[in-house]
Amino acid sequence: MEILPFLIWPFMASLILAGIHAYLGVHVVERGVIFVDLALAQIAALGATVAILIGMDPHGLGAYWLSLGFTFIGAAVFALVRTRRGHIPQEAFIGIAYAVASAAAILAMSKATGETEHLKDMLVGNILAVSRHDVAKTALLYGAIGIFHYIFRRRFLLISTDPAEAEKQGISIRFWDFLFYASFGFVVTSSVAIAGVLLVFCYLIVPSVGAMLFSDRVGKRLAIGWTMGTLVSALGVYFSVLGDLPTGATIVCTFGGVLIVMFFVHLIFFHGKHARSLKGVAAVEHPKEQVLPHR
């Protein structure tokens, strides 16, 4: 009981992460750019490394804005490489960007060995160290991004689910793609510093995948994703206290366990219901033939 007040802010941060990332995850899964957050996170880390090399305070606003500027460059690249025919998957360009940014960060860190621990923290994260100030600042930032996406939700959803129709309506896909990835960069740059790459990736992808098992409608998928994120956050924090385990890694493993349970529930109820319906249709279309008694 004594440690619970200490965990309230990490838990609040987890809820905020679940709220924004479950929504963005719907777009990411629909677009098929599953690893875009890892690529943008690595690009942000490269920006932080460059900030250190030129003498900036790694914890200062200058380093943050430079890191964010690098993510904007990545957002512009991802928006431009989206081809109309899709003969080259966008995920291929995202993987290349991740590899190049990782190699460039390694080269830069070789010249800034004194600050490699800070860069490691940026990628691994430490959600237990989050403070009330961090939670309030993150909530305001994500709230602003959420309002922006709510205002233009129809365009973002149309581009994610039916880009051909969006193009027919005269919507500039590359321009709105850039706005999407730029806002995504704001979220990733802040989230990775709080929770690390693995936890942010789980908050982004797992709730959306779990929701897709039970619904194809965006509204229901968001409701299921937010419920799952909240439940997993509470369970992960509780299990980390119960077992004296790292909170971030515990939440990630809890995400995996809950997703497995959801998958088996989907198999039992949905596949069983589908099999019964097919059996009923077959019985109607092919009734059993009456056998006349043999004379």
Between the alpha carbon of residue 258 and those of residues 34, 130, 226, 262, the distances in Å are 20, 25, 14, 6
Asked if residue 237 lies in contact with residue 13, where contact means CB atoms within 8 angstroms, the answer is no
Q: How confident is the model at residue 262 (pLDDT cuts 50, 70, 90)?
A: very high
Q: Where are the domains of the chain?
A: 4-279
Q: Which comes out higher in pLDDT, residue 275 or 166?
A: 166
3-state secondary structure 103-168: HHHHHHHCCCHHHHHHHHHHHHCCHHHCCHHHHHHHHHHHHHHHHHHHHCHHHHHHHHHCHHHHHH
Segment 75-84 mean pLDDT: 80
Predicted confidence (pLDDT) per residue in 140-179, tens digit = 999 999 999 999 999 999 998 888 898 889 888 889 999 9
Burial of 150 per CB tally in 10 Å (0-12, 13-18, 19+): exposed
What pLDDT is stored for residue 255 in this prediction? 92
Helix (H, G, I), strand (E, B) or coil at 82: coil
Residue range 250-278: mean pLDDT, rounded: 80
Residue 292 binned pLDDT confidence (cut-offs 50, 70, 90): very low
Distance (Å, rounded) from C-alpha 185 to C-alpha 70?
9
Higher-pLDDT residue of 244 and 278 is 244
pLDDT band at 190 (very low <50, low <70, confident <90, very high): confident
pLDDT at 47 over 50: yes
**Mean pLDDT of the chain, nearest integer:** 81
How do residues 206-219 score in pLDDT, each as one tens digit?
998 999 888 888 88
pLDDT at 88: 74
Mean pLDDT of 267-271: 79
Q: CA angle at residue 152 from 147 to 154, to 5 degrees?
A: 130
pLDDT of 249 > 60? The answer is yes
CATH for 4-279, options being 3.30.70.20, 3.40.309.10, 1.10.3720.10, 1.10.3470.10: 1.10.3470.10
As a residue count, the chain comes to 295
CA 75, 80, 81, 87 dihedral sign is: positive
Q: What are the Cα distances from residue 276, in Å, to 35, 106, 115, 182, 259?
A: 38, 56, 61, 47, 25
Q: What is the pLDDT of residue 180?
A: 92
Model confidence band, residue 106 (pLDDT cutoffs 50, 70, 90): confident
